Homo-oligomer: A and B are copies of this chain.
Amino acid sequence: MCEAEPRSPATRCSTCSLRAVCMPHDLTSSELRQLDSIVHTTRHVRRGEALFRAFSPFQSLYAVRTGSFKTIVMHREGAEQVTGFQIPGEPLGLDGVCSGTHTCEAIALEDSTVCIIPFGQLEMLCHESPRMQRHLYALMSGEIVRESSLMMLLGTMTAEQRLATFLLDLAARFRARGYSAVQFHLKMRREEIGCFLGIKLETVSRMFSRFQREGLVEPNGKQIRIIDPEGLARI
C-alpha cells in the first residue's frame, strides 16, 4: 500500500463536529485537507493517567476530543495548583512551546481521547496558511487572556465569588459546545475544584451548600443544576 492507511471519519478534522470550536471557521478545503494529513493520530488516555508530564519533551499540541482533563503545575514538595480544566474542543500543551519542555502536566479526569497535532508539522502548515498562523497566535494569546482572568479570580475574589465564577464559566463553555448550560456533570472532585480556585475542599463543599440554601444552584453530588445564573453573577 502506497497510500497512508485510511482513518475512520471520526478522526478527520474535515468531518469533526468539534471543528468549529477547535479550528478557524474559514479554512479552505485545501487547508482542511492539509490539516487532515497532519492530525492523523488520536490517543486514548485513561482516567487518572497523564497525557504529558512536567519536564517531558514537547513535541505536539493536543485537542481534547472526548472526555476531560486538568492541567496542574507542581511546587517543590508536592504542593500542586490546578491551572485549568479542559473539555472537548479545547487545546492542551501550549505551555511547552516556550522551552521545548512541558511545565505543567495534563491528567485525564475520565477516560478521554485527544487529537495529536505534531508541532513541527503545524508550524509548516502555519507557514503556508495565514489563517492557520493567525489561529495558532490566537490560541496562545487566548491562553494568556484566560490565565489573566484566573489571576484576577485568585487575587481578588472571596471563596463564594470564586465558585460562582467557576460554575458560570463552565456553563458558558458547555453552552458553546451545544451542551446544557443549566445542568451538567462535574468530572472533577471537590478537592480539584478547590485546588483550581485556591481554596480547600471543605470550603468548596460549604459554598455549594450555601448556594443551595440560597436557591442559586441545585447540587447533587457531581451533578449540578444552575437555578439562578443571574443571582450567581451578582455575587
Q: Which A residues contact B (CB, under 8 angstroms)?
A: 73, 75, 79-83, 94-99, 103-104, 123, 127, 133, 137-138, 140-145, 147-152, 154-156, 195-198
Contact = CB atoms under 8 A, between A and B. Distances in A.
Given A73-B151, A155-B198, A144 B81 contact: no
B150 A151 contact: yes
A152 B75 contact: yes
B140 A79 contact: no
A3 B70 CA distance: 55
A133 B123 contact: yes
Chain A to chain B: the 6 pairs with minimum beta-carbon distance, closest first: A98-B141, A97-B141, A154-B154, A155-B198, A147-B147, A140-B140
A198 B151 CA distance: 9
Nearest to A104: B148
Contacts of A127: 127, 133
Contacts of A151: 73, 81, 83, 147, 150-151, 154
A152 B154 CA distance: 10
8 contacts: A73-B148, A94-B144, A97-B138, A97-B140, A99-B145, A147-B147, A154-B198, A156-B198
B156 A81 contact: yes
B141 A95 contact: yes
